Chains A and B, each alone.
Chain A
């Protein structure tokens, strides 16, 4: 089975900001899991919205894509879909490879 590869190219001058950015994404993932367990769809919507806004800005388009899906899933209360997206986010954060140029 193919292992998805996630490669992100980030401007060199943002290198100093990326450790905090990634650390915040991991905290965000934990919060997403807790919110899903509590079926807190408003919290999930807000987190998805935030991911959508910040991902592209740093060059992490997939974070924005997942954020939009999480925001939409929270609006419709699609628990199974949200679970799948959050798992995908965890997989992404574990595997993402950052290249600075």
Chain B
């Protein structure tokens, strides 16, 4: 394996070279400092490398321009493009310019680097690949095969049980988008397919800035897809990173979540699967709810069979655990579980198994907040009532409570107030 690294930072070049040599002991690494040398010329033996790692900001040059020049050459190897910029449109431009993969420097780990290089070079360096790698490569190539009018599917960025998620963009601009493609095995399941396609119909009815925008959808014999908004700010899971948020930030996010629930409930839609992975942030910090895959209109025929439980156990309401008919208050409970996690950095309930966690929602009183967060205890108590009759009835009630009890001046909640 021969790898060329073009980056203006000698420490990063050393580190990448070190990781590569650790994985492939006989690898030959060549470093190229763009502060000292211009883009490799026509006489440079580019074709002798299996992979090129190219940085975006080269100190005195633009990595995208270098990429475009190098990719014009027929002997250009696979390119892993690195960007230190937080803006995903750079990734879109890089993939459109011919990069075969990209990584954000801030998130670049040994594993990510090696996985990427392995995927880029596996076809040449190995005749057989692991099942896991083969599956990932198949997923990558699926993205390239799917034809969506006006949309270029660029790179696999996530996988869920139902669908694979790709970075994409319109052919006419570089704004990032997401394309969600239903897994082939799920496509055969009529109920799952129906749910996937209904997601578009449901979201189209909501028209709220607190709900992820879906731009297009389609279905053929082989594929079903949604074209959606891309979120530069990532999801709540990433923002939490296993830690508590600052209480003011937690309340800011929670308040936006209540506005979102207000908007979707107003249309008679229950989300039923609120969790950190489904709360996304735009670059300006606004929150939007994602993934209405198991959402339903409150008056619609529920595809959930009697006693069937859909959702994520950590965030399920007691009535959801019991498989009972649901109303708006199920989402209010799940929002309470999320608020607890944002304030404390801990899950509301822990358990060895999903069933154990789910049963806690039915039988175990929520742990009290620590002393310094007591101002929020009453709010949480009322969100997490096991008896939904005693819970907030809807998001408007919660917002009203926030305004009356938590947001008047800087005074903490009235600790003597009776809520019910």
A57 in contact with B84 (CB, 8 Å) = no
B12 in contact with A57 (CB, 8 Å) = yes
Interface locus among B3-11, B94-102, B177-185, B410-418: B3-11
**Category for how many chain A residues contact B:** 10 to 19
Binary contact track A42-60/B, C-beta < 8 Å → 1, others 0:
0000100110111011100
Q: Which of A11, A46, A58, A64 contacts B11 (CB 8 A)?
A: A58
A49 in contact with B14 (CB, 8 Å) = no
Q: Which of B22, B57, B110 contacts A49 (CB 8 A)?
A: B57
Complex-state Cα separation, A17 to B16, whole angstroms: 11
B218 at the interface (CB under 8 A from A): no
B15 in contact with A52 (CB, 8 Å) = no
**Taking the nearest CB of chain B, how far is it from the CB of A80, in angstroms?**
24
Interface residues in B1-59 (C-beta closer than 8 Å to A) = 8-12, 14-15, 18, 22, 57, 59
Complex-state Cα separation, A56 to B107, whole angstroms: 8
Which residue of B has the minimal Cβ distance to A71?
A: B84
**Taking the nearest CB of chain A, how far is it from the CB of B102, in angstroms?**
14
Chain B residues with CB under 8 A of A50? 8-9, 84
A101 at the interface (CB under 8 A from B): no
Chain A residues with CB under 8 A of B12? 53-54, 57
Chain B residues with CB under 8 A of A76? none
Q: Which of A17, A21, A52, A58 contacts B106 (CB 8 A)?
A: A52
B105 at the interface (CB under 8 A from A): yes
A13 at the interface (CB under 8 A from B): yes
B59 in contact with A46 (CB, 8 Å) = yes
A53 in contact with B15 (CB, 8 Å) = no
Complex-state Cα separation, A8 to B330, whole angstroms: 43
Which residue of A has the minimal Cβ distance to B109?
A: A57
Q: Which of A11, A17, A46 contacts B14 (CB 8 A)?
A: A17
Complex-state Cα separation, A20 to B82, whole angstroms: 22
A9 at the interface (CB under 8 A from B): no
Which residue of A has the minimal Cβ distance to B7?
A: A53
Chain A residues with CB under 8 A of B202? none
Interface residues in A12-36 (C-beta closer than 8 Å to B) = 13-14, 17, 20-21, 24
Complex-state Cα separation, A21 to B59, whole angstroms: 18
Chain A residues with CB under 8 A of B399? none
Chain A residues with CB under 8 A of B84? 49-50, 52-53
**Taking the nearest CB of chain B, how far is it from the CB of A48, in angstroms?**
10
Chain B residues with CB under 8 A of A54? 9, 11-12, 15, 105
Q: A49-B84, A50-B8, A53-B12 are in contact. Are A17 and B18 (CB under 8 A)?
A: yes
Between A14, A53, A56, A58, the greatest number of chain B beta carbons within 10 A of the residue's beta carbon is seen for A53
B18 in contact with A24 (CB, 8 Å) = no
B108 at the interface (CB under 8 A from A): yes
B57 in contact with A14 (CB, 8 Å) = no
Q: Which of B8, B14, B106 contacts A20 (CB 8 A)?
A: B14
A17-B14, A53-B12 known, 13 other contacts, Cβ within 8 Å: A11-B110, A17-B11, A17-B18, A20-B10, A24-B11, A49-B84, A52-B105, A56-B105, A57-B15, A57-B105, A58-B11, A58-B15, A64-B106
List 12 A–B pairs whose Cβ atoms lie within 8 Å, in order of A's numbering: A14-B15, A17-B11, A21-B14, A49-B57, A49-B84, A53-B106, A54-B15, A54-B105, A56-B105, A56-B106, A58-B15, A64-B106
The 4 A-B pairs of least Cβ separation, nearest first, read: A53-B84, A53-B105, A21-B11, A54-B12
